[in-house]
Homo-oligomer: A and B are copies of this chain.
Amino acid sequence: MMQPTTFEIASYAQYPSHHQAQSLSLAQQSLQLAWSDGHQSEFHYLWLRDNCPCSECVSTLTREQLFEICDVPLDLQPQQAQLQDGYLTILWEDGHRSRYHPGWLRAHCYAEAMRATRQWQAQSWDRDSIREALPEFDYAEVMEDDRALLDWLRLLRDWGISLLRQVDTTPGTLLKVANRISFIRETNFGTVFDVQAKPDANTAAYTNLRLPLHTDLPTRELQPGLQFLHCLANDAEGGESILVDGFRIAEHMREHYPDEFAALSSLPMEFHNKDRHSDYRFSAPALQLNRAGQVVEVRLANFLRGPLDLPADQVLRHYRAYRTFIALTREPVFQFFYRLSPGDLLVFDNRRVLHARRAFDLRQGRRHLQGCYVDRDELLSRIRVLERQG
Contacts and interface: CB of A to CB of B under 8 A. Distances in A.
B62 A221 contact: no
Given A201-B62, A279-B381, A315 B44 contact: yes
B204 A59 contact: yes
Interface in A49-64: 50-51, 59, 61-64
B280 A381 contact: yes
Given A11-B274, A74-B323, A222-B221, A309 B115 contact: yes
Nearest to A203: B62
Nearest to A41: B312
Contacts of A111: 312
Nearest to A385: B279
A303 B375 contact: no
A316 B46 contact: yes
A323 B69 contact: yes
A312 B110 contact: yes
Interface in A291-313: 291, 302-305, 307-312
Interface in A149-172: none
Contact of A221 (B29, B207, B303, B377): B377
Copies of the protein in its oligomer: 2
A243 B42 CA distance: 38
A378 B310 CA distance: 25
Interface string A368-390: 00000001111011101100100
Contacts of A222: 221-222
Contacts of A66: 209, 303
Nearest to A273: B64
A162 B61 CA distance: 33
B274 A12 contact: yes
Nearest to A384: B279
A3 interface: no
A358 interface: no
Q: Which 3 A-B pairs have the closest CB atoms?
A: A279-B384, A222-B222, A64-B303
Given A46-B315, A108-B307, A108-B309, 9 more contacts: A11-B272, A44-B312, A46-B316, A65-B305, A68-B326, A69-B302, A183-B188, A186-B186, A268-B291
